[in-house]
Amino acid sequence: MTSLELALNILAEVSATAISKIEDPEGFDESAESARSSAHIAGTARREFEDRTGVSAISSLNAKDQPGRLDAGDTTILLED
């Protein structure tokens, strides 16, 4: 997982929390709609990044397989395929 993937994941999580607090969903269906809304927000951010940079925001990296490589400030990993 790259720093960018982590940031997009955090955006989705924070969005889901905020939307749920504002909309106060009751039951599974309403909660699922809140989750879809937050996924849309993060997905839009991902597509915007990819459109502007021409670089995929998704990598095949797995954090557990990259010890010490995902340190803060390591921008080389941000743009790896």
Contact by Cβ (8 Å): 50, 58: no
What pLDDT, on a 0 to 100 scale, did the predictor assign at position 81? Answer: 45
Going residue by residue through the chain (81 aa), what tens digit of pLDDT does each one get? 788 988 999 999 999 999 999 999 999 999 999 899 999 999 999 999 999 999 899 888 776 665 555 554 555 555 554
CB burial of 9-42 (b: ≥16 within 10 Å; e: otherwise) equals eebbeebbeebbeeeebeeeeeeeebbeebeebb
Residue 52: domain span: 3-65
Q: Is residue 22 part of a domain?
A: yes
What pLDDT, on a 0 to 100 scale, did the predictor assign at position 61? Answer: 75
Cα–Cα distance measured from residue 5 to residue 53, given in angstroms and rounded to the nearest whole number: 15
Q: Is residue 79 part of a domain?
A: no
What's the structural domain count of the chain?
1
Cα–Cα distance measured from residue 53 to residue 13, given in angstroms and rounded to the nearest whole number: 24
